[in-house]
Chains A and B, each alone.
Chain A
Amino acid sequence: MKKNGTYSRGTSLMRDALRRFVRNRLSVTGCIVLLFIITLCLAAPLLTPYTYDYQNLSSGATPPGAQHLLGTDILGRDLFTRILYGGRVSFAVGLCATLVSVLIGVAWGAIAGWYGGKTDTIMMRFVDIAYAFPFTIFVIILMVFFERSLLLLFIAIGAVEWLTMARIVRGQVMALRHQEFVDAAIGLGLRQHQILLRHILPNIIGPVIVYATLTIPAIMLLEAFLSYLGLGVQPPSSSWGILIREGTESMETYPWLLIFPAVVLSLTLFSLNFIGDGLRDALDPRSSRE
């Protein structure tokens, strides 16, 4: 209610959020950079005369120059081209696997935190066990029993990445469960799933989004490790994770092979984090409407 007694026009939660997000300069910059990188990756064939698997063995690794903007790798492949094509894979894997892990993690954590008691104990002990299971062995077992595919990669990554998310969400939900607005909702006779969906989840969106934006780069690197073990992206295709891993191996001799993919990944990571920060501030129902 404003001072002079007139009522302000009601605004929706989403419109408020959008207004707050646009005002945040960092997150808007993040959005622009991210969109720029994605556009470059999608427009790769227009931007480079090479294909990602074209080799020139006799030239070997050459430093950045006029002919190859970012230099070439040990097999004489153009690094710029490989970064662009690799970005497609990395974004696909990063976004999809994060989505999977968020969905499973939030559902699991929210149910465990909300119902508590035995349900909680059983669900969280399961998480503990899954945590303790050595990841490498899990991956090798998957490889022995199943056909290698990108779907399997999502499963393997999703299977480990949701665990932390579940723990975070459970803790948040437990903290919120005894707050007054929840008591009020119960008092009003709302059903449990309604309370969870409409009152609890919007309140935990902040940590979930921040953690999700951190998960994406982690998954991009994990994907490189899995590809090394033979699961996931296979040569001659590449991804940023693979480029960085290969770059690390020849860091001392051919530094550009590490620097450029790392710069691109870092830019993406920063953008995602800024966007995540902006989203958290924008979506938090507790933040003021000014």
Chain B
Amino acid sequence: MKYFCIFYMTAAAIILLAISSCKNQRRDTIVSLGTKNGVLYFGNQTEPEDLDPHIVTGVPEFHILQSLFEGLVTPDPRDLHPLPGAAHSWDISEDNLVYTFHLRSEATWSNGEMVKASDFVFSFQRILSPRLGSEYAYMLYCIDNAEKYHKGALKDFARVGARAKDDTTLIIRLGSPTPYFMSLIMHDSWYPVHPPTILKFGNIDSRGTRWTRPENFTGNGAFKLADWQINKIINVVKRADYWDAQNVKLNGINFYPIENNQTEERMFRNDELHVTTNLPLQKIDWYKNNAPHLLHIDPYLGTYYYICNINRPPLNNKKLRKALALAIDRKSLTDDILKGGQIPAGSFTPPNTAGYLFDPVVTFDTIEARKILSETGFKSGDSLPPISVLYNTSESHHIIAQAIQQMWKRYLGINVTLVNQEWKVYLASKTKKEYDIARMGWIGDYNDPNSFLDLWLTGGGNNNTGWSSPTYDSLVKQASKSADQVERFRLFSQAESIFLDELPAIPIYFYTNVYLLKPSVKGWYSNILNMHNYKHLYLE
């Protein structure tokens, strides 16, 4: 009898629960609940490689890190000019070589300890450690002697131009004037890490230790890492002890790694996401006609391109690369397939990057392409060694790759195979140079041509092609040392001409940022770097 009672009570409870949850569903969707509770639901494309700011290189990782860390200065949500961050003010010397940052004494790490100037120095030393193997270490090369230290020529970090005068004063001495320095330091590679946490789980230069697990994580951003379920969710919540906590309106952000942009769009439509990273190609027209208030097409400082493995035949043949580049009908790709306002790329640096202009030279010219191909010594496409095109699993990369595959077949008679890999496997193949041609996208880290052109310096962390040109190196380095904008741009265009003549990477199109956004998200401004400082966002 007793058991029956329990049985009925349980059954009744279950039914009640079911009814009440049904009711809830009708009244509140996930997004409207999130809006009410101040939680942003963010479609973030892919599972991050790691959450270590000195290791990661991808855009999805940066989306998360922006919430967990705060640099010396932070970008203004509208025009990205530097606003005080961990530093409340800064002084610049007359000769533009010495920057003195005054840190906030009230800024703390998520474990309550104060953010000290020495933590920044430790972080710079960490990312520049040769054994850490950070692909972004070159972002700090503007610091005096940093390059020598990173390349192992200098062993003593004390001779590198970063010094903590006291707990709240950080002095950075540059090797040469760097006009874009203040926007450079907003990048993730300049984020501080908490030294005791790093050292607890390894050495200063250990990669992939457990410090980024939620139970160990220490950051200095407006949010802290609460939960990380692989391939499911990363959840960050507002820190009550953050120095500017009273101005942070969001209570948390849920990042969902949704590789399939079809799923992402469906979740958005089902009110499960506030914002998506992408929009499936097939849906753009539908949103343009039916829901233009949800569709956002923002200018975006980025280039979509294919890199060639210069160390591996047959792509070591410059003429072959040129023929391939000329046989891509970029206009057809952007107008017939992408339809999101993208621009066919005839150069590598996006037009008008901080005022820099370069005339497009890589065009669509099948006659010239065939002529150059006949000069390569390969009689026809069939006599070539097999070529494969590698891309990460994603529907739009897949469609573009198929279109380009067909163009090369039709115009040059070259058959290539397509290989797609999951994001982490793809990143590893690229770094290990186990590819012939690979898809890449580069989003400017700061608004300056240097962010695009110093990518291709010899041995650069993100130069996965194996390409190297001493003339190019010296031109880009000269440009970075020059304070005169006209002179800089002249040097940059000389460098870019060399690059586009050699074509270790074949530019395809300049990005636009096509995504969906709920009107309930406020304080979200379109900007060319797609940087949205979460602390200025609010929901209503």
A residues with a Cβ closer than 8 A to B are: 53, 55, 57-58, 60-61, 74-75, 140, 143-144, 148, 228-230, 234-236, 248-250, 252-254
- Residue contact B422 to A234, C-beta cutoff 8 Å: no
Whose C-beta in chain A lies nearest to the C-beta of B286? A253
How far apart sit A143 and B262, CA to CA, in the bound complex (Å)? 24
Residues of A within 8 A of B329 (CB): 57
From residue 244 to 294 of chain B, which have CB atoms closer than 8 A to chain A? 262, 280-283, 285-286
Given A57-B403, A74-B399, A230-B421, 10 more contacts at CB 8 Å? A53-B406, A58-B332, A60-B336, A61-B282, A75-B406, A143-B421, A229-B393, A235-B398, A236-B405, A252-B286
Residues of A within 8 A of B399 (CB): 74-75
Q: Mark B229-254, 1 if CB is under 8 A from A, else 0.
A: 00000000000000000000000000
- Residue contact A230 to B402, C-beta cutoff 8 Å: no
Residues of B within 8 A of A53 (CB): 406, 409
- Residue contact A140 to B425, C-beta cutoff 8 Å: yes
Residues of B within 8 A of A250 (CB): 280, 282
The verdict on B427 contacting chain A, using a C-beta distance below 8 Å, is: no
Choose one: A74, A75, A249; the contact of B262 (CB below 8 Å).
A249
Residues of B within 8 A of A55 (CB): 402-403, 406
The verdict on B417 contacting chain A, using a C-beta distance below 8 Å, is: yes
CB distance from B387 to the nearest CB of A (A): 13
Whose C-beta in chain B lies nearest to the C-beta of A228? B393
B residues with a Cβ closer than 8 A to A are: 262, 280-283, 285-286, 329, 332-333, 336-337, 393, 395, 398-399, 401-403, 405-406, 409, 417-422, 425
How far apart sit A148 and B390, CA to CA, in the bound complex (Å)? 13
19 A/B residue pairs, CB under 8 Å, sorted by A: A53-B406, A55-B403, A57-B332, A60-B337, A140-B425, A229-B422, A230-B393, A230-B420, A230-B421, A234-B417, A235-B402, A236-B402, A236-B405, A236-B406, A248-B262, A249-B395, A250-B282, A252-B286, A253-B283
- Residue contact A74 to B281, C-beta cutoff 8 Å: yes
Residues of A within 8 A of B333 (CB): 57
Residues of B within 8 A of A230 (CB): 393, 419-422
- Residue contact B409 to A254, C-beta cutoff 8 Å: no
How far apart sit A60 and B395, CA to CA, in the bound complex (Å)? 16
Residues of B within 8 A of A229 (CB): 393, 420, 422
CB distance from A249 to the nearest CB of B (A): 5
CB distance from B514 to the nearest CB of A (A): 16
Instruction: Say whether, besides A58-B336, A75-B403, A235 and B425 are in contact (CB < 8 Å).
Output: no
Residues of A within 8 A of B403 (CB): 55, 57, 75
How far apart sit A53 and B405, CA to CA, in the bound complex (Å)? 10
- Residue contact B337 to A57, C-beta cutoff 8 Å: yes
How far apart sit A228 and B395, CA to CA, in the bound complex (Å)? 9
How far apart sit A254 and B283, CA to CA, in the bound complex (Å)? 10
- Residue contact B425 to A143, C-beta cutoff 8 Å: yes
How far apart sit A264 and B329, CA to CA, in the bound complex (Å)? 34
Residues of B within 8 A of A228 (CB): 393
Instruction: Say whether, besides A60-B336, A228-B393, A75 and B402 are in contact (CB < 8 Å).
Output: yes
How far apart sit A140 and B259, CA to CA, in the bound complex (Å)? 15
Instruction: Say whether, besides A235-B418, A252-B286, A144 and B425 are in contact (CB < 8 Å).
Output: yes
Choose one: A57, A144, A148, A235; the contact of B336 (CB below 8 Å).
A57
- Residue contact B337 to A75, C-beta cutoff 8 Å: yes
How far apart sit A74 and B399, CA to CA, in the bound complex (Å)? 9
CB distance from A85 to the nearest CB of B (A): 15
Whose C-beta in chain A lies nearest to the C-beta of B398? A235
- Residue contact A249 to B280, C-beta cutoff 8 Å: yes
- Residue contact A74 to B393, C-beta cutoff 8 Å: no
Residues of A within 8 A of B418 (CB): 234-235
